[in-house]
A and B are shown apart, each in its own frame.
Chain A
Amino acid sequence: AQTVTQSQPEMSVQEAETVTLSCTYDTSESDYYLFWYKQPPSRQMILVIRQEAYKQQNATENRFSVNFQKAAKSFSLKISDSQLGDAAMYFCAYRGWIQGAQKLVFGQGTRLTINP
């Protein structure tokens, strides 16, 4: 079964510094998507960045970038120049065809704190 693991329940970083959140996943499929979602205290699920498995180039969105290692099944999120507004819960997620239906599987989440 496809699983997603985030081994860092909590992380903290000084404002303006860089932080990396880790994610590993398990799948036997070759065609899938990976995502990072941000959840602020408002509970809203906000898509931060996505990566198509067939693309070798790592996705980048402004200060957010990923390190996608397909063979190692690793998908880490790097946040550069951290800002106070980046403080939130971050979820790694895998989207693929599981048991005949398209599903989104989440990791346990990492709570990111930004220290001023």
Chain B
Amino acid sequence: NAGVTQTPKFRVLKTGQSMTLLCAQDMNHEYMYWYRQDPGMGLRLIHYSVGEGTTAKGEVPDGYNVSRLKKQNFLLGLESAAPSQTSVYFCASSYPGTGEYYGYTFGSGTRLTVV
């Protein structure tokens, strides 16, 4: 089925460990996004990409890095995990559009706990 696939779905890390979250989409979308969801704060944009080989900072980028070497993949890295990064992470993708509606497709989320 076409869509956005996130791996892993759950992960527990110790403080200081590193990990990479993978997002893969098969819809040929140009734009990809990483969000984090925390209680009472909605979804906040971490980083985004407007095309292969490009990345940009969102609202809460500190402590995260991203890469988009292939159009279909968008990786989110935590170099040294901190308890404050305990959250649910969502990947999304879309086409850019002006004056037309292009939907966003979301992955199923990754629940990350840093202890």
Binding site for B on A (CB under 8 A): 4, 6, 9, 31, 33, 42-45, 47, 50, 52, 91, 95, 97, 101-109
Contact = CB atoms under 8 A, between A and B. Distances in A.
B42 A107 contact: yes
Closest 5 CB pairs of A and B: A106-B42, A45-B106, A106-B43, A43-B109, A108-B42
A44 B106 contact: yes
Interface residues of B, number: 28
A24 B5 CA distance: 32
Interface of A is mostly: strand
Interface of B: 31, 33, 35, 40-45, 48, 50, 56, 58, 88, 90, 92, 94, 96-99, 101, 103-104, 106, 108-109, 111
Contacts of B43: 91, 106
B42 A91 contact: yes
Given A43-B88, A91-B42, A106-B42, A33 B101 contact: yes
B94 A9 contact: no
Contacts of A50: 101
Contacts of B40: 9, 108-109
Nearest to B45: A103
